[in-house]
Structure 1
Amino acid sequence: MTDPKIPVTEDELHAYVDNELPAERRGDVEAWLSGHPDDAERVQSWRTMAEALHARYDAVADEPVPARLEIERLVRQPRRLIYGAIAATLLAFIAGSGAGWLARGAAAAPSTFQNFTVDALDAHRLYVVEVRHPVEVPGSELTHLQQWLTKRCGWDVHAPELGATGLKLVGGRLLPGPTGPASFLMYESASGERFTIYTARAADEMTQMRYASQDKDGALFWADHGVGYVVSGGSDRERLTQVARLVYDQTEKSGG
């Protein structure tokens, strides 16, 4: 086969993997791949990653977007009015050697820990399933990403270097937080394993990490220098702690 007259773009390659490519361009893309082994190898790696993500997260992707997120897009409602519904989504939290349970439909005002972990796990579950659009700004634009989030959030947003744990920065996005804007960074391993870092303003100081879990996902929370952090990932708590410790060490060195 010869190359198509119209060059194939990266967006078309992604669309080909996602079965969203117009039928009239499919033959052109396949001809392109037959003559460009590097692109063919990339397409195969994307397919492998997509299959791994779908195998793990399809059940989550099929869930409706939480009503709380829809509300926040329109107007920031007082959290005490909506917490009764979302408290039930957290199964347990563990701090140090102590353990406790969040009661379903709890009437008490949510703590900073509860606010942050509910929001962070919601965002984690919503975006880790995305193959084409997991972030707004890619990791290849690191300087712009950090400057943009720092300006919008009001504190120094620094994307930690997590290569020691086998993770590479995918990119980030801006989200609504408990009291204002929040930054959201996503990392990925060669096998498609994803971790996210959610940060927002926090009135409480809590340098001891606290753990929360929701279905097959876990999160570690702490707050320091007026900023709260939540590192979210899979159910392997040892692996999650390894990643969170590296994030913690680097944010401490950078002053938060």
Structure 2
Amino acid sequence: MTADVNQDDLDAYVDNQLDPWQRNAVEEWLGAHPAEAARVMSDLHRRNQLRLALALPGERPRDLKAARRLDRAIAPRGLRLGLPSAAIAATVAALWLALGPVGLREGAASTPPPAFVKSALAARDASDLRLAMLSQPEAPDVDPAEIRALTGLVLPQIPEGWVPRDVQVFPSLQGPGVEMVLDTPEHGRLSMFVVRVGGGESSGTVLAGDTGIAWFTQDGVAHVLGARDDPARLADTAERMLGSIPHN
């Protein structure tokens, strides 16, 4: 990369932080560097996908720039639990952006949903984005023993007929969590987010746009199910899954 256009210039271009003359200069440089142009286009596409997935009211370039700085700070250390670097970037950005409103509407819950529900929604959105990327292959293999050994999280038994499509370890405000995407006969495409939260047992439902959410906690671990389905139906499924989890 030549001295007149550097990585900061490209980041500022993606974040819409340049004036028209600067943008023109960057675009002229990109015209002579097709590989970098393709990467910038991918960054622009990912930014727009995240904004649409999280239903943000307009662009928030400062948040995106901060998310990128946070991503760079985390990426060198890495989460050595099978999380691809691109998924780290998408997840960190999603979690950062998710600090804004996400349109939660209480269902059976008598109190506002716990903070881990917002983390689950961010992980779900990031998974949807990752699965839509050709460069990010699906990772459907589930090894509950390895996940428990490395994260301390005990997964419920997957019901018969459920087909795992993707399993990833995701960062969250509560610590490392496990995000699973499954195809189910009852609920269609379903996400399950598992993270350690402490505290006693609880359960509830909530609506986030057209996504139904049901959660329960047991032995200090939260399990959040999400699908485009009635939250009450998800709650019935969550109750059945609760009995398949061994107590610590």
SS of residue in 2 equivalent to 1:137: coil
SS at match of 1:205: coil
Which residue does the alignment assign to 2:180? 185
Structure 2 SS opposite 1:255: coil
Number of aligned residues = 172
Task: Indicate which of 233, 241, 244 corresponds to 1:247.
Answer: 241
Percent of aligned pairs sharing the same letter? 15
Deviation at 1:228, TM superposition (A): 1.4
Cα pair distance change 1:170/1:134, threshold 3 Å: farther
Contact 1:93 1:213 in 2 (8 A): yes
Once residues 255 and 133 of structure 1 are traced to their aligned partners in structure 2, the CA distance between those partners, rounded to angstroms, is 39
Q: Distance in 2 between matches of 1:170 and 1:211?
A: 24
Q: Which runs of 5+ in 1 are unaligned?
A: 1-58, 77-81, 103-112
Decide whether the 8 Å contact of 1:162 with 1:246 is kept in 2: no
Alpha carbons of structure 1 residues 255 and 137: separation in structure 2 relative to 1, 3 Å: farther
The residue number in structure 1 matching 2:53 is 60
TM-score scaled to structure 1, two decimals? 0.53
SS in structure 2 at match of 1:138: coil
Give me the whole-angstrom Cα distance separating, in 1, the residues matched to 2:147 and 2:99: 27
- The aligned counterpart of 2:197 is 202
Offset of residue 190 of structure 1: 6.1
Instruction: State the distance in 2 between where 1:213 and 1:190 align.
Output: 21
Confirm or deny: 8 A CA contact 2:211 2:229 kept in the other structure.
Answer: yes
Contact 1:162–1:243 (Cα < 8 Å) also in 2? no
1:223 is aligned to 2:217: yes
Note if contact 1:135-1:172 (Cα within 8 Å) is conserved in structure 2.
no
The answer on 1:162 being equivalent to 2:159 is yes
Provide the residue aligned with 2:121 in structure 1: 121
Deviation at 1:162, TM superposition (A): 1.7
Give how far 1:150 is off: 1.6
Which runs of 5 or more residues in structure 2 are unaligned? 1-51, 75-94
For residues 63-102 of structure 1, the aligned pairs below 5 Å read: 67=64, 73-74=71-72, 86=99, 88-96=101-109, 98=110
Report the counterpart of residue 171 of structure 2 in structure 1: 176
Aligned to 2:144: 146
Shift in alpha-carbon separation, 1:120–1:70, aligned structure 2, 3 A: farther
Could you say what secondary structure the match of 2:198 adopts?
A: coil
C-alpha distance 162-119 of structure 1, shift in aligned 2 (>3 A): same
Instruction: Say whether the 8 Å CA contact 1:169–1:185 is kept in structure 2.
Output: yes
Q: SS of the counterpart of 2:173?
A: coil
Following superposition, the deviation at residue 88 of structure 1 comes to 1.6
Q: Structure 1 residues 244, 86: closer, same or farther in 2, change over 3 A? A: same
CA distance in 2, matches of 1:61, 1:86: 10
C-alpha separation between the residues in 2 aligned to 1:95 and 1:72? 36
